[in-house]
Structure 1
């Protein structure tokens, strides 16, 4: 132990000596403090901390570790070419993705100054180099060609990590991607609604390629899927569509698809008894059963799968009950107004009012009305709810979907492929938070950069979600990041005894699931010593 006198006080260090080139040298030292500090530590009464702050650790560390596995910084810098600026464009893109994935609702500079990223990211940027202005200036170097190159380079990394599992892909459409306030002077004050076409891996729904489009000039889904699928001619791309898109596609002449059909188009399938359904996968799809059969679709006999979800059934039952209650309440109000003479409309006007109230197709099936009288002021209304019709409606429609495919995959894999779009929509709602700021002027370039960062954040988080799923944790992206965010870090600041104040970082206690994620993503390498 050696002591150093600084400012009239003696501070002690634990010194480690060794011979270097045959001569004794100090090869390491550890600060111990003043004599009083050492005495307090020996007695078990170390000085109390002068302050503390808590910050999330697990989500930042896990996302950063995944970015390193994808080698994102180097790959972006290869696409960008020679650069004089430091930090490089690749570093700024990595920071943008890390920010979007872990704190999408915060301003960039606020996030950077208060999160654990400063202690984790490498190479460590020069002090003061990371500001919102510098960050935005760097991202402006993302030309259209570089954006395309970055997306392709990251997709190559993903497919490399997945190996044979990356050779099959899905083409999906996320119609509700974002709403931008246009910078075009002809569109001032108007929102530009944007959709997003994606090619994603079949295993994990990890984005590989994207195309943002204005919904007012949206391409047909078939054309969009063909364009995106053309970027991966070596992959087997399956088209995934929802019931509203089925009419755009000639399924009789198409191959390679999984989608939903409008329920009303196949009443004979919906009427099949529930006894014919089989459980799909109780662990992955709790309460889901399916009937795997055949039906004529667009003139061709196709494989169809009728699914029933207990969760969806309960949600649709609640929504229908609310809708029916509202209609009954309004009809009772109309009947009371007619009886009191405050509604003086003729029969035509009253029928129009009834049609407005029960305009929902399913409400019309269970709610009957009768009008008596012909002249204004004498018309009376009675209504009735057909309980048997309500029961039939629940048995035939609630909780059901009719999926169609030409793939011979197991039922669970068909359901997984169809639900990829739902998972992606949920992910983008999480990543974009409240959405792009309405105060900003969203030029085409800014929209392109925003889309790239969002897609890369989805790529990283879906890769993480796939790994968690393989470890037996079936979580959405939002649930996964919420669990990781719960692994917090407390930074304790001790009073200065000369020189810089000392700090100590400790991690919070973890639940069993958080501990499993901690081990799965190797977070111990980022943990404080």
Structure 2
């Protein structure tokens, strides 16, 4: 039974809709809903309503989707199982889940600013005590991630991913993300105090979706940097039960004996295979217009390290346009510098001899592709009389674009279809893009007490890797639903699903609030349904 009751608070009467029922044979109020003052009720009946005392707009979609994925991975329970018995509440697993949620949705924002400005406090369960989630408590909890615990957490989450993927999780790729992060080490205990500590990251990832399973962080600015061959061997040993394929780029191919190696996908230096570069565009075929717009390929064979191997010559219209723009800028810069040198020689302000002038010309164009298209002529022998002319060979520019721009030469011993070979090779590019999103510019330690020690770098790496694991799992699901998005694009679309919190006047207790989600585009609605965000949405 429902009835309206009034409560006098501070000299004013506030009305509530009370629901009554019999409990153990006795009438009891089992629920009540705030209606407002008499003026509020009158305004509502006349088509108006109680005015909000304030409002806050905050991100919802990205936080809800990432937290839902963390729940599917059962991250909190798995981490707590690795950590063992704990007296602290919230547990280490809960704090690590929050760290991953923070890194995936707001990597450039301070933890306390993010926590107070997003929907996480209303979404995460179990809901922690308000005073428990502070930066100090959070960092203190993460400091309990010892080296054995980090390894255990990594293995536990990898097991969860492979369970979710089923048969699709039995094949993996080993990749090297050389540009992982740069840690500002001012006043640090590390040897490079005052400089950025450059770090690379070796990864084992699923072939389907490039979802990270295992990692190895290493320093790039020290003599202990592992060779790619050694790093590949270590990464492969992480999953002896999986079929691991090594992925490498052209700069790493010289470190590998491809004549003796098996299970690999990589690229080769284009200049070493001129006979393939000279083949006409008509020899290539479209790869997959839906997944790889503007990509064509020629599947053939060539001798690599003394062995006949399968090679795939690809051409990307997008890459061609980007390389043409970069080359045009490079050529314009070289022409401008040579014209400046020619003007200085003609005005007599540059009085170097021919050897000095040639050295300046060499510094301008040597070792760059402009050397193939930019010619120079010197006249005169004595300082003050030397004159410079330059010319751009337009036919050579056309040949350069036809032979090199937009092309990559892939090599593999796998019998996968061409689109699958391309997907495997591009896994490294996708991961580099993801980690640029997750780590941003060089992260600086917040205080002298929290500088980038080796342990903090290990924790940062674990959080970043787990954030990449979660977001790549989400990206895989979106791709299967027909939405080909990068991690940054996916999270940007989800972030666009916002939430407005309306705060109404207090009646003596906690202020009444109302949560409303923003309107959604068709793609945002598709993602809303894909990740089941309705279970987090306000009633």
TM-score range (shorter-chain normalised) is: over 0.9
Residue number among 342, 345, 354 corresponding to 2:361 in the alignment? 354
Matched position secondary structure for 2:132: coil
Matched position secondary structure for 1:16: strand
State whether residues 170 and 243 of structure 2, in contact with CA within 8 Å, keep that contact through their aligned partners in structure 1.
yes
Residue number among 316, 320, 338 corresponding to 1:331 in the alignment? 338
Instruction: Structure 2: give runs of 5+ residues left out of the alignment.
Output: none
Asked if residue 401 in structure 1 is aligned to residue 411 in structure 2, the reply is no
Q: How far 1:90 sits from its partner (Å)?
A: 0.3
Q: How far 1:186 sits from its partner (Å)?
A: 4.0
Q: How far 1:395 sits from its partner (Å)?
A: 0.2
Correspondence for 1:118:
121
Query: Within 1, Cα distance between the matches of 2:136 and 2:340?
Result: 59
Instruction: Structure 1: give runs of 5+ residues left out of the alignment.
Output: none
Correspondence for 2:474:
464
Query: Within 1, Cα distance between the matches of 2:440 and 2:368?
Result: 34
User: Which stretch has the larger CA shift, 374-383 or 94-103?
Assistant: 374-383
Correspondence for 1:75:
78
User: Which stretch has the larger CA shift, 454-463 or 109-118?
Assistant: 109-118
Correspondence for 1:90:
93
> For each residue in 1:1-20, what CA deviation from the matched residue of structure 2 results, as whole angstroms up to 9, or x when unmatched?
13143334433322223333
Matched position secondary structure for 2:405: coil
Asked if residue 517 in structure 1 is aligned to residue 527 in structure 2, the reply is yes
Query: Within 1, Cα distance between the matches of 2:395 and 2:440?
Result: 44
Correspondence for 2:28:
25
State whether residues 34 and 497 of structure 1, in contact with CA within 8 Å, keep that contact through their aligned partners in structure 2.
no
Correspondence for 1:385:
392
Correspondence for 1:208:
213
Query: Within 2, Cα distance between the matches of 1:363 and 1:435?
Result: 33
Provide TM-score, normalisation by structure 1: 0.98
> For each residue in 1:194-227, what CA deviation from the matched residue of structure 2 results, as whole angstroms up to 9, or x when unmatched?
1000000000000000010011222111211211
1:272-287 superposed matches below 5 A:
272-287=279-294
1:243-262 superposed matches below 5 A:
243-262=250-269
Correspondence for 1:366:
373
Asked if residue 481 in structure 1 is aligned to residue 486 in structure 2, the reply is no
Residue number among 6, 9, 12 corresponding to 2:8 in the alignment? 6
> For each residue in 1:270-324, what CA deviation from the matched residue of structure 2 results, as whole angstroms up to 9, or x when unmatched?
1111001001111111111001000000000000000000111011111111111
Correspondence for 1:37:
40
Q: How far 1:185 sits from its partner (Å)?
A: 6.0
Correspondence for 1:136:
139
Matched position secondary structure for 2:108: coil
Correspondence for 1:184:
189
> For each residue in 1:366-391, what CA deviation from the matched residue of structure 2 results, as whole angstroms up to 9, or x when unmatched?
11111122222222211111111110
Q: How far 1:424 sits from its partner (Å)?
A: 0.4
Query: Within 1, Cα distance between the matches of 2:7 and 2:406?
Result: 77
Query: Within 2, Cα distance between the matches of 1:524 and 1:435?
Result: 37
Matched position secondary structure for 1:446: helix
> For each residue in 1:113-137, what CA deviation from the matched residue of structure 2 results, as whole angstroms up to 9, or x when unmatched?
2211000000011121100000000
Aligned residues: 529
Provide TM-score, normalisation by structure 2: 0.96
